[in-house]
């Protein structure tokens, strides 16, 4: 499966894993979506690690979310999804990761929501 994020300013970026946090997910975390090219067995742990790393590095000022003007498009396989307002955490094919946002709300709210969601998801199966 191919995963690409399309930013209006940078073109398309190939990703290994993506966590999509739309604005509505701040009130209802079930709207958070995640996609990966990794095996399904490892995917929940990959998302948990990605969400946790993003939150910790943001809190430590090691990563700054990149502001995107306009919509963010996500291409997963043959489907295209559009994020009108929210945040995307991307792990690139090179294993580096970045955070993209197209909202003026606090990035920490989005990162904390993703971290809580992914942590609960892992704990349900342990």
Structure confidence by residue, pLDDT tens digits, 21-54:
999 999 998 899 999 988 776 788 889 999 999 9
State both tokens at 42: 């490892």
DSSP structural state of residue 2: -
pLDDT tens figures, 85-117:
999 999 999 989 999 999 999 999 999 999 999
CB 89 within 8 A of CB 19: yes
Give the C-alpha distances (Å, rounded to integers) separating 32 from 41, 61, 91, 96.
19, 24, 16, 21
- Model pLDDT for residues 12-22, shown as the tens digit of each residue: 899 999 999 99
Q: Which residues pair with 21 in a beta bridge?
A: 87
| Full residue range of the structural domain in which residue 104 is found | 3-125
Identify the pLDDT of residue 123. Answer: 60
Q: Is the pTM of this model over 0.85?
A: yes
Question: What pLDDT score was predicted for residue 126?
Answer: 46
CA distance 47 to 52: 8
pLDDT of res. 63: 96
| Count of domains for the chain | 1
Over residues 47-80, the pLDDT tens digits come to 999 999 999 999 999 999 999 988 999 999 999 9
């Amino acid at each position: 499966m191919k995963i690409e994020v399309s930013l209006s300013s940078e073109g398309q970026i190939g990703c290994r894993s993506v966590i999509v946090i739309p604005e509505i997910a701040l009130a209802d975390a079930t709207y958070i979506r995640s996609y990966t090219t990794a095996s399904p067995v490892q995917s929940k742990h990959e998302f948990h690690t990605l969400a946790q790393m993003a939150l910790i590095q943001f809190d430590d000022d090691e990563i700054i979310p990149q502001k995107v003007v306009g919509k963010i498009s996500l291409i997963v396989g043959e489907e295209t999804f559009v994020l009108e307002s929210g945040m995307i955490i991307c792990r690139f094919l090179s294993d580096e990761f970045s955070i993209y946002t197209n909202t003026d709300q606090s990035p920490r709210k989005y990162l904390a929501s993703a971290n809580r969601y992914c942590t609960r998801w892992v704990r349900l199966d342990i």
